[in-house]
Structure 1
Amino acid sequence: MGRSRYKIHEEHYPYFITSTIKDGLPLLSNPKLAKIFLDSFTFLQAERKILIYGYVIMENHFHAIVKGEDLAKKLRLAKSFMARKMVDTLRDGRNNKLLSQIEFRKLKHKLKCDYQVWEEGLHPKQLFNDVLVTQKLEYIHLNPVKRGFVDRPEHWRYSSARNYLGVKGLIPVTIYSG
């Protein structure tokens, strides 16, 4: 999980997580790369039994509320998988400019890889009551509104805001009911 002071301790609680693309590169504004994220989160739910209560994908980071056993390990592996797939997609698309940028930004101690897509860690914050979960869901869904990308949360395709209005989103989520 990186060198973060934030840790996942009690897995029976949901956690608010955030992960950022290295140095804020806007990789997730590319629909193909955002789809890799969506597919990975769908896999986490279906195959790894991770509950996803909410998410938003922005151009250079994501937020999510998640819960499950071995959560830290499963999320670390998912981020690693996403990074490899993103690099492969950029290679296939011959996007050498972005590839050279993520290669240049790789931390020097990362000796086993040529690229570093994500900043280290997930900065998990335990949500130990319904009020905190509700606050973080609102924060997640309002993120693109506050950034000025849309006027209403449900207008942002890359979030679970639609799911909470009873409209089919890009991926299913577990609706948090408290």
Structure 2
Amino acid sequence: MLLGEVYFWTDTVKDWKKIFSQTRYKTILIDTLRVLVKRKKIIVYAFVIMPNHLHLIWQMIETNGKEMPHASFNKYTSHQIFQDLKLNHPDALPYFKVSDGERNFRLWQRDPLAILLDTQDKLEQKIDYIHYNPLQVQWQLSEQPEDYEWSSARFYETGIDNFGFLTDYRNLL
């Protein structure tokens, strides 16, 4: 990913485990995005948190120390979630065990999907995809996009940012 470019990003939980069925883990993702936006490391245009994956449309503004903000996001959210699992759900930890030399546990699958959104059509298509994801047959998390709490759909419907970190993509145009 390049600084200054807008990307559609998908992070998937290792082995598609539905860890984000737990509100506290979705809140960790939201809080981390909020901090990165506040520190002017990223701009978030759209997102949805699904039970086992996350879609974002975001822009990396500047590095976070020596690393790209997406790396900081993945590292920090993994650490926070594993801290909670160790304390409250130690029986779930083996599902995330790895022996890859880098770490003992892995939350996010390697190589997240990053697609450069270099046209308005691509950007709008991906925002629609994100907002309609919770309505898909295999999920049925809500009846309307704006009814799903863990998404930017309501922001685009009402203009109200309940998360405190969203930027309307139309400001790019």
1:1-178 correspondence to structure 2 within 5 Å: 8-9=1-2, 11-70=3-62, 73-93=68-88, 95-103=89-97, 106=98, 108-109=99-100, 111-146=101-136, 147-165=139-157, 166-177=159-170, 178=173
Task: Report the CA distance between 1:169 and its aligned residue.
Answer: 2.7
Alpha-carbon distance in structure 1 between the residues aligned to 2:21 and 2:37: 23
Task: Report the CA distance between 1:96 and its aligned residue.
Answer: 1.9
With normalisation by structure 2, the TM-score equals 0.89
Report how many aligned residue pairs link the two structures. Answer: 165
Task: Report the CA distance between 1:171 and its aligned residue.
Answer: 4.0
Alpha-carbon distance in structure 2 between the residues aligned to 1:68 and 1:39: 17
Alpha-carbon distance in structure 1 between the residues aligned to 2:91 and 2:47: 29
For structure 1, the residue ranges without an aligned partner over 5 or more in a row are 1-7
SS at 2:39 equivalent: helix
SS at 2:76 equivalent: helix
Task: Report the CA distance between 1:163 and its aligned residue.
Answer: 0.9
Task: Report the CA distance between 1:113 and its aligned residue.
Answer: 2.0
Between the aligned residues of both structures, percent identity stands at 25
CA RMSD, 1 decimal: 1.6
Alpha-carbon distance in structure 2 between the residues aligned to 1:119 and 1:174: 27
Q: In the superposition, relative to structure 1, how do residues 97 and 171 fare at CA in structure 2: closer, same or farther (>3 Å)?
A: farther
Alpha-carbon distance in structure 2 between the residues aligned to 1:43 and 1:99: 26
Alpha-carbon distance in structure 1 between the residues aligned to 2:17 and 2:163: 23
With normalisation by structure 1, the TM-score equals 0.86
Letter in 1 for 2:81: M
For structure 2, the residue ranges without an aligned partner over 5 or more in a row are none
